[in-house]
Structures are given as structure tokens and as C-alpha cells.
Amino acid sequence: MESVNEKYIENATVYIIRYGRNSPYYFNIIGKNKHTWDNNVTVNLVFFEYLHNEYRRSFVELHFRLCDMLNSDPYVGAMVAKAGITCPVYPKMQHMVNMSIPAANFKYTFPFKKCMAQLDFTLTASGESMGKANFYLTFSDKKRHI
């Protein structure tokens, strides 16, 4: 976690784990939200491409209101909804563990191999940051047999 606003979130932990050499990576978020979250929270996911020994902001950005993401996004929203999060998100300790993006439905190749993803939760009305985390990712293309 890069930053957490204690007015909105406490005891936040974000980490990525894999259970074996050949297992996939799993995304985990554990923390307590202090207020009810619905479309009053905006989720921003911005990708920075690794070019020339630095991360530069790319054209790939996802911006959602929380409930719209949970109900309509087939990738990130589906991953979080599968972890048991429904809208509205009431104040309590949240355990979103062993999440992975359903990549089987993704029919496109990601535009770059190495990047940083910045996840930012903000209040929709004021733009005040509630929490921010950075993740360093590497994508690999699986060979497809036709």
C-alpha cells in the first residue's frame, strides 16, 4: 500500500501470492472500511508501461464507480464479486482473498509485457483519495494451438 486515508480505511493489507511453482498468482485485499461504499467511491486502475528503465503512464486506464464495476465489469468487477463483495459494501472487516482475473474470457493480447498498475480508491464527489496501492506486473502470452 502506498497510502491509506485513516478516515475511510484501517488495517489495510494488499499482497499477491502463489502457492506453488506452477500455480497462478492470487491477489488479496484485507482491511476495514469505516463507511458504506456504493457509487460514492470511484475505483481507478491506471497502467504504467515499463520503457527505458522507467514507468510511463500508458493509454490503458480503467475508471469505475464501485457498484457499476461490481455489476458490469467482466474482469476486475467479476473478480471482486466472486470474492463475495456485493453493493453496497457495509462497514466491516473485508477479506477478499485468492482473487484472480478470469483471463479465459479475455480475447486480446495485453499491449505490453511489463508494467506497474496503480489502484486508487477515491470519493466520487470530492476526489479525495481513500487508498492507493502499486503492483508490478509481467504479462506472458500463452501459445494457442489452432
Sketch out the chain's domains with CATH numbers: 3-138 (2.70.220.10)
- Give the model confidence (pLDDT) of 5-51 as tens digits: 999 999 999 899 999 998 888 999 999 999 999 999 999 999 999 99
User: Distance (Å, rounded) from C-alpha 46 to C-alpha 43?
Assistant: 10
pLDDT of residue 143: 57
Q: pLDDT grade, residue 139 (50/70/90)?
A: confident
Q: How far is CA 58 from the centre of its chain?
A: 17
Nearest CA-CA partner of 95 in 33, 37, 43, 31: 31
Contact yes or no for 9/29 (Cβ under 8 A): no
Please provide the DSSP assignment of 47-87 as one string.
EEEEETTEEEEEEEEEEEEHHHHHHH-TTHHHHHHHTT--S
Average pLDDT, the chain: 90
Contact yes or no for 69/45 (Cβ under 8 A): no
Q: What is the pTM of this model?
A: 0.84
Nearest CA-CA partner of 15 in 32, 1, 4: 1
Specify the amino acid at residue 135.
Answer: F
Most confidently predicted of 44-48, 77-81, 99-103 = 44-48
pLDDT of residue 131: 94
Question: Can you tell me whether residue 1 is helix, strand or coil?
Answer: coil
Name the grid cell of 95.
Answer: 477479506
Q: Which residue has the higher pLDDT, 108 or 71?
A: 71
Q: pLDDT grade, residue 142 (50/70/90)?
A: low
pLDDT of residue 145: 47
Name the grid cell of 33.
Answer: 472500511
